[in-house]
Structure 1
Amino acid sequence: MSAGADVGVNDIRRNGARGVSFHLLMNGQAHKVDMKVAGLHNIYNAMAAAAAALACGAGAESIRRGLSMFQPVGGRMEILRLQNGAYLINDAYNANPASVREALLTLRDLMNSHDAFVLLGDMLELGDAAPEMHRKIGLLLATIGVAAVFLQGDFAQATAEGAREGGLAAERILFLQDDEEAVAFLKRKLRKGDWILVKGSRRMKMDRLAARLGEAIGVEKAEDQEAAL
């Protein structure tokens, strides 16, 4: 972010499942924004949206209000509170190395002292770089300290190799053969405050697994979700 930029941010705060807050700097004035979406990367998205809106002639207060009203699209960093008190991050709409990295870093920020579980499908259309890209994701997984990871796809072994190389215990690395197996495992293991991240490329159909988890454990009603957050 250059010193002379028209748009900037400061006073960034992570608010757990409630999202992030920050002061958006526009034309030298600070405007408080509370966004209902987690992940520091979404602040960059907000800055880009604000810059585009300013260029189109929108007023600063209108931009602030619009960002504060933003609701994530289903399957894109969508946080759902389950009826057992755990949280499901449904980020299953699609996946590439950058988005998986940001999802995992966001999970790390959210989990605090609770357990975190990752259900990760392949990242597709990476060509010859695919094995190495998946290995690097495995290395990152190991640094987060997940309780368990379920891997699915042709590059699951490459991801597992990276995770083992990074020090994640072999018994925490599982291979997803059947959705119901993962659902049953998580129903047994999940405790209040724990986190689940579901992520994968579109063709991996991880969104079906996210939906199945919601059905099996139960998702709180919208008004209860808001009160719990």
Structure 2
Amino acid sequence: MITKSVTLKECVRLIGGTLVRGNPGRVLYSANRGSYRSLTSNQVYFIDTHQSVEKQLAALRNHPVAAVVLPSDVPGSHIPERTAIIRVRSVTDAYWRLASWNWKQATPKHVVGITGSAGKSTTTEMVYAVLKQRARVVHTRGNLNTFTFLPTYLLRLNPGDPILLLEMGMKSLNNIARQCRVVRPNVGVVTNVGEAHAGSLGGLDTVVKAKQELVDGMRPGGILYLNADCARSRQLSTRRFYGTVRTFGIQNSADIRGENIRYGTHGMSFDVRIRNEKFPCVIPHWGNHNVLNALAAIGICLSLGYSKKEIQNGLARSRPPRMRLQLIRAKSGKLLINDAWNANPSAMKAGLTVLKNIAIGTKRIPIAVLGDMMELGRYTYTGHRDVGVHTANQSLSLLVTYGSNSREIGRTAISQGMDPKRVIHYSNRAELIRFLKYAPQNSVIYFKGSRKLKMEKIVDDLARLPARG
């Protein structure tokens, strides 16, 4: 959506284009870049040349009144006759111009920025589950969390929207800084600083610098939450931050502290202590790392004026993002834990701890299927060995490694005392699925690996397999 309706003539002016054809008085109500499946009438549609132009043009035939922003290398003759055409020099620049205009019309009172090496999506989902109880909230969806996608959220804002909730991801330095220069968060969280993207960024010190961009990019007078249990988070400098710094944690002293943490049938329960006050919370997520995410979310929501009751209700209704410790009951009776979105050593170790506790609680046989971690750079060998050491102490019935670098997890686990008969490696997906088909019916199987491995396909295939006859 865009803040208010604009005429085609006004839209052309705002984006710096040239009207090739169309009624200048036609009214447009929303904007869309490249999402041809969600194309509707009365949209200004920005053709994305990184996608199939043919499919986008075909979709336009079903919505001939939509306006199109057209790069010069797409022939206008291919556009349906009733569709207006605007030519621009750069689709990206035009899209940003419209988004910036909309941002100025509807700047919300609060901008929440959430970053970190792990837990960004889960924390964002937890915060959204609380905030949406009161009002419409524009928030990051899926993994569309870099500077490239920021205009999409700016264009969804309407007048009166009180909060813009952004998960701030990055693939390189300066990405979070660029986002902050546009929106300037007044509430921020760094969930942790870990190994994610250490390879592409050139090392852990650079990861710290990347997360520092949120700290330095916040509004004066804002509130920043940092993880008291994360050693690398203590490397973040608040010297240039002119606001309030608060901490959350479990192990160390913190402003918001989790206590009495318990695994349950449907998630975690714990007490939240803030100074001398204490109140209980339940989340349908597993693991102490998700309790930390919840503590960060609690801090954000309290800063925005939400009550403890609203926070308790919202957190209890939050749901894990897809492929983040999702529990799936297979047709065969096996319990599958799909944690296959991505992988780094810290996240993999946290997931293995969850597997161990769920196996104990459900009296199931624990099996781990661990794939390569691909974005560690020079930490690749060390990272896989680190996971191997941790794995050896998780009382696994079986460790299955998948890929190439993951072999080091198995080798290290064996060197740390794990029975070699309980460690196996596969490089072929079909062979791995055939092997897991014969895992005990009362097993719980955990899946974790880098995005490129697409281990969720293994989970999906295994979930559909019936019990052995």
Task: Report the TM-score, using the length of structure 1 for normalisation.
Answer: 0.86
In the alignment, the residues of structure 1 paired with residue 274 and residue 318 of structure 2 have an alpha-carbon distance, to the nearest angstrom, of 18
The residue that corresponds to 2:368 in the other structure is 118
2:456 is the alignment partner of 1:179 = no
Encode CA deviations 1:128-185: one digit per residue, 9 max, x unaligned: 1111210121121111122222212231232122111111222222222322322222
Instruction: State yes or no: 1:88 paired with 2:330.
Output: no
What is the one-letter code of the residue matched to 1:160? G
Q: Do the aligned partners of residues 212 and 80 (structure 1) sit closer, same or farther apart at CA in structure 2, a change above 3 Å counting?
A: same
Structure 1: distance between partners of 2:309 and 2:415: 49
SS in 1 for 2:465: helix
Aligned to 2:399: 149
Which stretch of the first structure deviates more once superposed, 41-50 or 182-191?
182-191
What is the DSSP-based 3-state SS (H/G/I as helix, E as strand, rest coil) of the residue aligned with 1:143? coil
The sequence identity of aligned pairs, in percent, is: 27
SS in 1 for 2:438: helix
- In 2, the alpha carbon distance for the partners of 1:77 and 1:178 equals 24
Q: Could you tell me which residue of structure 2 aligns to residue 22 of structure 1?
A: 270
- Work out the CA distance in 1 between the residues paired with 2:383 and 2:327: 26
| Partner SS state of residue 331, structure 2 | coil
Whether 1:216 aligns to 2:469 is no
Whole-Å separation in 2 of the counterparts to 1:217 and 1:63: 40
- CA spacing shift, 1:188–1:15, aligned 2, 3 Å: same
Q: What is the distance in 2 between the residues matched to 1:40 and 1:179?
A: 31
The CA distance in 1 between the partners of 2:347 and 2:340, in whole Å, is: 11
Q: What SS does the aligned partner of 1:13 have?
A: strand
Distance 1:132 1:147 in 2: 24
Three-state SS of the structure 2 residue aligned to 1:104 is helix
Q: Is the 8 Å Cα contact of residues 132 and 158 (structure 1) preserved in structure 2?
A: no
Gaps of 5+ in 1: 219-229
Equivalent in 127, 132, 150 of residue 377 of structure 2: 127
Is residue 34 from structure 1 mapped to residue 287 from structure 2 by the alignment? no
Conservation of the 8 A alpha-carbon contact between 2:332 and 2:463:
no
Aligned pair in 2 of structure 1 residues 210, 157: CA closer, same or farther (>3 Å)? same
Residue from 57, 68, 72 that aligns with 2:316: 68
Deviation at 1:28, TM superposition (A): 4.3
Relative contact order (C-alpha < 8 Å, sep 6+): which is higher?
Answer: 1
**Closer, same or farther in 2 for the Cα pair 1:57/1:151, shift >3 Å?**
same
- Do 1:22 and 1:33's aligned partners in 2 also have CA atoms closer than 8 Å? yes
Q: Aligned partners of 2:446 and 2:370: how far apart in 1?
A: 8
Larger helix fraction of residues: 1
For the pair 1:163 / 2:390, whether they are aligned, the reply is no
SS state at 1:158 partner: helix
State the secondary structure of the residue aligned to 2:392: helix
Structure 2: runs of 5 or more not aligned: 1-248
Look up the SS of the partner of 1:189 in the other structure. coil
Match of residue 390, structure 2, among 140, 144, 150: 140
- Supply the distance in 2 between the matched residues of 1:49 and 1:188 (Cα, whole angstroms): 41
Distance 1:182 1:57, change over 3 A: same
1:109 alignment partner in structure 2: 357
> Greater CA deviation, 176-185 or 138-147?
176-185
Q: Distance in 2 between matches of 1:27 and 1:135?
A: 40
Cross-structure match for 2:453? 204
User: Alpha-carbon deviations, 1:80-105, whole Å to 9, x = none?
Assistant: 12233321110000111110010011
The one-letter code matched in structure 2 to 1:56 is L
8 A Cα contact 2:392 2:418, kept in partner: yes
| TM-score normalised per structure 2 | 0.43
1:43 is matched with which residue? 291
CA contact (8 A) 1:81 1:88 kept: yes
Task: Name the count of aligned residue pairs.
Answer: 215
Counterpart of 1:145, as a letter, is S
Q: Does the CA contact (< 8 Å) of 1:26 and 1:60 recur in 2?
A: no
Q: Per the alignment, in what secondary structure is the counterpart of residue 12 of structure 1?
A: strand
**Which structure has the larger Rg over C-alpha atoms?**
2
